Structure formats: structure tokens, C-alpha cells
Amino acid sequence: NAGVTQTPKFQVLKTGQSMTLQCAQDMNHNSMYWYRQDPGMGLRLIYYSASEGTTDKGEVPNGYNVSRLNKREFSLRLESAAPSQTSVYFCASSGGTGFTDTQYFGPGTRLTVL
Amino acid sequence: GQQLNQSPQSMFIQEGEDVSMNCTSSSIFNTWLWYKQDPGEGPVLLIALYKAGELTSNGRLTAQFGITRKDSFLNISASIPSDVGIYFCAGRKGNTPLVFGKGTRLSVIA
């Protein structure tokens, strides 16, 4: 069991470029999440998917889009990257329906936008 | 959005000392969780609490779900160098996503 995997681990973009962050879990979890972590700000929820086929906005969704490709995979897309999106991005998953279970996190993607 | 106030923001302690940190909210939560993040890694769950007043231990770690359901506490006894990291509290209200505190950064001086 790899748990939650994320690619890439590091990425540098220029302002205006686009990219997709990939996340996959092999725990057969229903719910998946994308967070960003900034110094002194803790973890802030960008988007989540409570089950395959559904996605919802979190606390800071502006500038991002997501796709729940199947039960295993949940991708995060930046259409036109901005320096304010420089951050560490974490994907997480949880097993139950809804939000009754604890979350397991991936190792993170460190993104720098110049 | 909902806010969790986590304190202290950072701590410098001597190896062997006990550590206490807490998390408070203006809202009632029905789940409290404590995570630890090592440098360069994702957060890892330490303790989960589901009932007001619940006291749960995991080795040298003990966490409590406050009776008012608006707070939670984490204690680490006899700290060691590998306790270094950022500790996050997280709470859930009903069938909603977790809300995270801003973290307590712990440094242990050998």
C-alpha cells in the first residue's frame, strides 16, 4: 500500500503558465481533498470530493479547478498561475461516506510561481 | 470560514520536559483530531477524539476533548528530539470538512 501519492514533488512555474497536480490513493477511500499550506496559515482547504463524481469548493478555491477522474484519482489544476499560488499543496483522502473518517495525507507538492 | 485558535504558535523546550498545547473554537465541534507534520512531509494523524470529555493516549501523547466541545488539548510527556515538528489540531462540525488550526511548531533542545 502506497497510501496517498502526489506528483510532481517540486515544480517551478512562470506567471501565467498552467499545470495539473496529480493525486492518487490506493486505500479505496471515498473522499479526497486538496489543501494548501502557507507559513503561519496552517492548512486551508481548496476543493474536496466527498464521493466519485462530486466536487465542492473549500475555503480558498479561486484560481483552481479540480477533477475527480475516478475513485482513486483527484487532480488540481492551475489554469493561469500567479505568485500568490506559491505554496505547498497536499492531497488527502478519507474512507467513509461524507466526512466521518480521519484523513490521510500525501507527501506534498512544493510549487513556486515566479 | 470557521477558525480554530491554536496556541502556542511555537515552543522551545529542553529534552525531557513535558509539553502542552491547546486549540479553541467559538463553535462546537463533534470531532477533534491532532496531527503531526515532520519537516518535508505531510501531516500524520496522532489522536482522534469523538466524545466530549474523552481522554485518549498514544504512547507519550495524551489528548482531551474539552467538555464544552469548543476546545481540545494535547500533552507530550518527557519530550525527545524526534518530537520536533508542527502539531496541528483539526475539528469537524457535523458532516463537513475538517477545519485546521495554524499549528504549533515544537523545537526540542538536547
User: What share of chain A has pLDDT > 90, as a percent?
Assistant: 82
CB A36 within 8 A of CB A28: no
Nearest-neighbour CA in chain B from A18: distance (Å) = 24
Between chain A and chain B, the number of residue pairs with CB atoms below 8 A apart is: 48
Under an 8 A CB cutoff, do B102 and A40 touch? Answer: yes
Residue A95 has pLDDT above 90, yes or no: no
Over the stretch A17-65, which tens digit does the pLDDT of each residue have? 999 999 999 999 999 999 999 988 889 999 999 889 899 999 999 999 9
Under the banding of pLDDT at 50, 70 and 90, the label for residue A83 is very high
pLDDT at residue B93, as a whole number: 86
User: Across the interface, which of B9, B92, B100 has its CB nearest the CB of A43?
Assistant: B100
pLDDT of residue A102: 81
> At CA B8, angle to CA B5 and CA B12, rounded to 5?
160
B102: contact with A, CB 8 A cutoff? yes
Residue B59's contacts (CB-CB under 8 Å, 6 or more residues apart) are none
User: pLDDT-derived band of residue A97, with 50, 70 and 90 as boundaries?
Assistant: low
> Would you give the distance in Å from CA A84 to the centre of its chain?
16
Measured CB to CB, residues of chain A less than 8 Å from chain B are 4, 33, 35, 40-45, 48, 58-59, 90, 92, 98-100, 102-108
B53: DSSP letter: T
CB A47 within 8 A of CB A92: no
Closest residue in A to B47 (Cα) is A102
Q: What are phi and psi of A63, to 5 degrees?
A: 90, 0
Query: Are the beta carbons of B100 and A42 separated by less than 8 Å?
Result: yes
Distance, in Å, from the CA atom of A88 to the CA atom of B42, rounded to the nearest integer, reads: 10
Q: Check residue B94 and give its pLDDT.
A: 80
Q: Kindly give the parts of chain B with pLDDT less than 50.
A: none
Phi and psi angles of residue A50, each rounded to the nearest 5 degrees, phi first: -70, -25
